[in-house]
Amino acid sequence: MSEERRALRELARLYGVQETYSNVFGKRVRAGVDSTIAVLQAMGAPVPSLRDATDALQARKEELARRPLEPVIVAWNGRLSEAEVRVPASEAERDVQLAITPEGEDPGEWEKVTPRIEAPPEAGFVPARVALGRRLPAGRHDLWVNAAEGPIRALVLSAPQRCPQPDG
């Protein structure tokens, strides 16, 4: 497999694009290069051709490394024990300000928490975890992080791991 093809596969993975599936007969089917590129382009990836895959992969890795917070977080059974944040490497030792609110509400108060560094810096940002230790009611909530560029919000979905079964 060429280096460009490897880069395209990794790029697809970073965009959440599944390149293989099992058909109705149980046979594994792999998407073609052109199909994968078309799906990635539809998702906004800067990959007009296979030879652009390596540069697009690098750009996606940097984009993800700089994302302060994942856009959606699931709190299974209402438990939100911690969250991953990415902080500028220059601020890695500082506390992070965050808030949890019902969806659609702005934070009233900010809580300071100390991030636990998870890995070395990447693209000038450090991945870290912040302890939250929260129990949320079922539904939609917002997790806010007060970042240098302003407040960043993630949708928190608090849901049971199993749907309740009807009686009978």
68-111: per-residue pLDDT in tens? 899 999 999 999 999 999 988 888 888 999 999 999 899 989 99
Contact indicator for 103, 139 with CB cutoff of 8 Å? yes
Q: Give the ranges where the chain is alpha helix by DSSP (H).
A: 3-14, 33-42, 53-66
Planar angle of CA 55, 58, 64, nearest 5 degrees: 140
Given a cut of 80, whether residue 1 has pLDDT beyond it is no
pTM of the predicted protein model:
0.77
pLDDT digits (tens, 9 = 90+) for 98-156: 999 999 899 989 999 999 998 898 888 899 999 999 999 999 999 999 887 789 999 99
